[in-house]
Amino acid sequence: MDTTKLTDKLQARRIEITEQMESLVSGGAVSSGEGLAFTEPVGEDRAAAVQRMTQLNMHSGLEAELGTVDAALAKIEEGTYGNCEICGEAIGDARLEALPWAISCINCS
Ligand SMILES: [Zn+2]
């Protein structure tokens, strides 16, 4: 497997995720200081509260994905990339092609 290309791909994805997270933070959905605490400001209407909840969920999802991308990058560095985190078997090229940040095989995911 060409890990140079793979690293580029993962790093590009990492930048995308970071940018999306930043835009959520700068949009006011998530305060970087407060972390992910959800507090309903006085006077905020229900629709705004729901929208904020959605953005917080998006932020958590992005954060989780960022963790996975980082884990994949660490594995490339260690030379263990492509092996399942759980059972240790090869993840398989087809799966890695579709999901370069996959860290577990299809059976374990
Ligand atoms: Zn597995």
Residue 107 lies in a domain: no
pLDDT of amino acid 1: 63
Specify the number of domains making up the chain: 1
**Is there a domain that residue 63 lies in?**
yes
Give the 3-state secondary structure of residue 5.
helix
How many angstroms does the Cα of residue 17 sit away from the middle of ligand 1?
26
Query: Rounded to whole angstroms, what are the CA distances from 105 to 8, 35, 41, 68, 81?
Result: 22, 32, 43, 14, 12
- Residue 69's domain spans which residues? 3-30+42-80
pLDDT tens-digit map of 59-105: 999 999 999 999 999 999 999 999 998 999 999 999 998 998 898 99
Domain membership of residue 12 (yes or no) is yes
Report how far ligand 1's centroid is from the alpha carbon of 1 (Å): 19
Residue at 7 is within a domain: yes
Q: What is the pTM of this model?
A: 0.74
C-alpha Rg value of the chain to the nearest Å: 17
> Please, which residues have CB less than 5 A from ligand 1, an ion?
84, 86-87, 105, 108
90-103 burial, b if ≥16 CB within 10 A, otherwise e? ebeeebbeeebbbb
Q: Is residue 103 part of a domain?
A: no
With respect to residue 108, please indicate whether it lies within any of the assigned structural domains.
no
Express each pLDDT in 37-59 by its tens digit. 555 555 667 888 888 889 999 99
pLDDT at 41: 59
Q: Ligand 1 centre and the CA of 82: distance in Å?
A: 11
Q: Is residue 71 part of a domain?
A: yes
Residue 17 lies in a domain: yes
Nearest to 91 by CA among 80, 10, 12: 80
Spacing, Cα 103 to ligand 1 middle (Å): 9
- pLDDT > 90: percent of the chain: 57
